[in-house]
Structure 1
Amino acid sequence: MHHLTILSYIVWDPMKEIIRGIQPPVWYSVLFALGFIIGYQIMVYIFKKEGKDPLNVDTLTVYMVLATIVGARLGHLIFYEPERFFADPLMFFRTWEGGLASHGAVPMILLALFLYRNYFVTGSLLPPKLKFKKQKKTGQSYLWIVDRIVITVALAAVFIRMGNFVNSEIVGKPTDSDKGVVFGRIAEMYFEDGINGVDRAEASKGTSSEQLAPGIVPVDILVTFEGTSSTEQDIRAKLEREFKPMLTRYPVNEHYQEPLGTPLNYELVPNGRQWTATIHTYGIVRHPAQLYESATSLILFFMLLVLWFKYKEQTPEGILLGIFLIWQFGFRFFHETFKENQVAFEEGMTYNMGQLLSIPLVVLGLFVLIRSLVIGRKTE
């Protein structure tokens, strides 16, 4: 056993629902939508400041929302689950199974902005009777639009990664220290949904000062059983028969390390008509990789916004896009070193899929930035 001197880890166990018992909308969906709502307001402000028709932002937002969702979904399925996707293309619509990839959103957004810039759309989505008529937006070049939209995309990335953190998904690797985050919600969900008679489960920092090993720290799980006629003996049998094995099985054991070969360590007390058990176990401390990425995206957002405020139309077209691609996906390459791989085939790779897909986008950013600076100097 190792002794903790400073309990610097946190046990992260937010309610997945905004209102307990009501699943939709989850926090991720709210944060995802919030990124677009605030981005919409920013784009209206930009259009007004630069003398453009702010009504165009409504159309632009529709393009952006559709491109982001469709592109991110296709990107995940093509890059991470191609065999399943090509065998069952309808899984594209099963979004509740999860799976969005920002690398897929980028090319789809760039295409959508090209359509917005060059075509006027008429018709309806349902039933699909869309018609594209060639009509360029006056005073809005393609790079002018992209340079402004990346400001809001950087902000959306902040909210999306915060949503991933709330959902305890795209988690980081173990820190092998007591500094980091234990994603405690996974055990709560499996206890509440997978074991009959459980009313509620809440994970928190353990009261013990001992840890199994570096990065394996005490976690207490308070389990409240529904008011039933079960005896104390029945509850104790359930704890050993069902709770102990669940803590050692996938996917709970990705975040917990329950000692093997020993009885479950717990206290059981009556609480009115209910029973309450405090299970003493251990959690795996991980990097909050989602917050790392959210933080660098926030810095990028403010950096792009300041550049726009200071220079506006004086900025050579393409510079903000170039900075966005280099910063966002350069850091994405770096952040991937702290993340667990998303799919099994990445385990044998020197660089995972997220890193490989980031390289061409960084190269594209360098090309756009250098080209913009060279053209900018020629026009001075």
Structure 2
Amino acid sequence: MNLALSITWDVNPELFTIFGREIRWYGLLWVIGLIVAVYIVQKIFQKEDLPEKWFDSLFIYMIVGIIVGARLGHCLFYEPEYYLSHPIEILKIWEGGLASHGGVVGIIIAVWLYSRKVTKLSMLWTFDRVMVPTGFTAAMIRLGNLMNHEIYGGPTDAPWGFRFITNINAWMNGAPPVYSEPSHPTQIYEALAYLVVFGITMYMYWKTDAKDRKGLITGVGILIIFLFRFFIEFIKNVQVDSEIAMRENTGLVLGQWLSVPFIIWGVWMIWFALSHKPEKVVTPHQSDLNRKKAKKK
């Protein structure tokens, strides 16, 4: 391989240290992704004149669901033996290890609880609004992985191949860097795909009647995200050693098997939404406002 045509990626994952605790690019990008998501969903709730307490509750449910789900997803899907033997390690989120599939499961549980206890509306109603900024947040997380020198692809002769530092923790502690072969920067591939999803869902919500077709925005977002995730896994390195045998035996890795149910779910939601006429949901809050306006007239 011609190293002259590759990119040597020697960015330090650490931004700065405060009170003895390192702050990484990964954490900053996570926070940026969440802040933008919160802002967009807040604008959606304001546009639809929804109760402010609905938004406040959703924020809490979603933050807990995403973080807990993503962390448990990584620990239980990818390294269950280690984390079940060292349960206290599960709490060390700052050391990395968050799984997107687990995050989605956490979101599903959070939305189920939120819909039952707060809005009393269909879960799909909430999903269609939460999905709008999801692509942006997912893109920020993948850029965080890029800054961490993790979750990248196999060797490539492409001029945009990245040479990542494979001994990143030792290098950060003063050891000389050990570089990978020029590899596919799959974090960038995924980030770009998720930004496309973000553009599509934003357009669907703000410029079309998609929000009145229950499940359509969610279905489109889920389908594109996990379909792309399924195919990108073919060029990604395995995340844990146990996936090597899985790939040899089945031709697929864990991330692909976990993507299949979401792909099916996305297709089903699109079919369900398009097989029904658009229907605007009138919330209890909006009903009260309409009654008050009618009395004034």
2:221 to 306, 324, 329: 324
Taking the TM superposition and a 5 Å limit, the aligned residue runs for 1:249-268 are 252=178, 255-256=179-180
- Deviation of 1:165 after TM superposition, in Å, equals 0.5
Contact kept, 8 Å, 1:17 with 1:26, in 2: the verdict is yes
- Deviation of 1:59 after TM superposition, in Å, equals 1.8
Query: 1:354: which partner in 2?
Result: 255
- Deviation of 1:164 after TM superposition, in Å, equals 0.5
Query: 1:285: which partner in 2?
Result: 182
Query: 1:77: which partner in 2?
Result: 75
Query: 2:295: which partner in 1?
Result: none
- Deviation of 1:376 after TM superposition, in Å, equals 2.8
- Deviation of 1:23 after TM superposition, in Å, equals 5.3
For residues 309 and 60 of structure 1, the distance between their equivalents in structure 2, rounded to whole angstroms, comes to 20
- Deviation of 1:342 after TM superposition, in Å, equals 0.5
For residues 130 and 233 of structure 2, the distance between their equivalents in structure 1, rounded to whole angstroms, comes to 25
For residues 59 and 237 of structure 2, the distance between their equivalents in structure 1, rounded to whole angstroms, comes to 33
For residues 142 and 256 of structure 2, the distance between their equivalents in structure 1, rounded to whole angstroms, comes to 17
Structure 1 counterpart SS, 2:12: coil
My pick for the range that moved more, 68-77 or 368-377, is 368-377
Contact kept, 8 Å, 2:213 with 2:279, in 1: the verdict is no
Query: 1:173: which partner in 2?
Result: 154
For residues 144 and 279 of structure 2, the distance between their equivalents in structure 1, rounded to whole angstroms, comes to 44
Residue type of the alignment partner of 1:137: T
1:151 to 123, 126, 132: 132
Query: 2:231: which partner in 1?
Result: 334
- Deviation of 1:87 after TM superposition, in Å, equals 2.8
For residues 103 and 153 of structure 2, the distance between their equivalents in structure 1, rounded to whole angstroms, comes to 22
Query: 1:162: which partner in 2?
Result: 143
Query: 1:122: which partner in 2?
Result: none
1:137 to 119, 125, 134: 119
1:12 to 5, 9, 14: 9
Query: 1:108: which partner in 2?
Result: 106
Structure 2 counterpart SS, 1:151: coil
- Deviation of 1:53 after TM superposition, in Å, equals 2.2
My pick for the range that moved more, 328-337 or 367-376, is 367-376
Pick closer, same or farther for the CA change 1:15–1:64 going to 2, 3 Å.
same
For residues 152 and 319 of structure 1, the distance between their equivalents in structure 2, rounded to whole angstroms, comes to 15
Residue type of the alignment partner of 1:19: F
1:58 to 50, 56, 59: 56
% identity of equivalent residues: 35
Would you tell me which structure has more helix in proportion to its own residues? 2
Pick closer, same or farther for the CA change 1:323–1:296 going to 2, 3 Å.
same
Contact kept, 8 Å, 2:61 with 2:110, in 1: the verdict is yes
- Deviation of 1:94 after TM superposition, in Å, equals 2.5
> Gapped runs of 5+ residues in structure 1?
120-135, 196-242, 257-283
Structure 2 counterpart SS, 1:375: coil
For residues 16 and 314 of structure 1, the distance between their equivalents in structure 2, rounded to whole angstroms, comes to 39
- Cα deviation per residue 1:209-246 (whole Å; 9 max; x = unaligned)? xxxxxxxxxxxxxxxxxxxxxxxxxxxxxxxxxx6xxx
> Gapped runs of 5+ residues in structure 2?
281-297
Pick closer, same or farther for the CA change 1:75–1:8 going to 2, 3 Å.
same
Taking the TM superposition and a 5 Å limit, the aligned residue runs for 1:28-43 are 28-43=26-41
- Deviation of 1:357 after TM superposition, in Å, equals 0.4
Contact kept, 8 Å, 1:40 with 1:57, in 2: the verdict is no
Matched, 1:193 2:90: no
Residue type of the alignment partner of 1:366: V
Structure 1 counterpart SS, 2:15: strand
Query: 1:304: which partner in 2?
Result: 201
RMSD: 2.5
Structure 2 counterpart SS, 1:170: coil
- Deviation of 1:194 after TM superposition, in Å, equals 4.8
For residues 20 and 59 of structure 1, the distance between their equivalents in structure 2, rounded to whole angstroms, comes to 33
- Deviation of 1:326 after TM superposition, in Å, equals 0.8
- Deviation of 1:28 after TM superposition, in Å, equals 0.5
- Deviation of 1:55 after TM superposition, in Å, equals 4.1
Pick closer, same or farther for the CA change 1:177–1:152 going to 2, 3 Å.
closer
Structure 1 counterpart SS, 2:132: helix
Residue type of the alignment partner of 1:71: G
1:364 to 253, 259, 265: 265
- Cα deviation per residue 1:105-152 (whole Å; 9 max; x = unaligned)? 112211111211221xxxxxxxxxxxxxxxx426x5421111010112
Query: 2:42: which partner in 1?
Result: 44
Would you tell me which structure has more strand in proportion to its own residues? 1
Pick closer, same or farther for the CA change 1:317–1:83 going to 2, 3 Å.
same
Which of structures 1 and 2 has the bigger CA Rg?
A: 1
Contact kept, 8 Å, 2:128 with 2:214, in 1: the verdict is yes
Contact kept, 8 Å, 1:17 with 1:23, in 2: the verdict is no
Pick closer, same or farther for the CA change 1:194–1:137 going to 2, 3 Å.
same
- Cα deviation per residue 1:197-217 (whole Å; 9 max; x = unaligned)? xxxxxxxxxxxxxxxxxxxxx
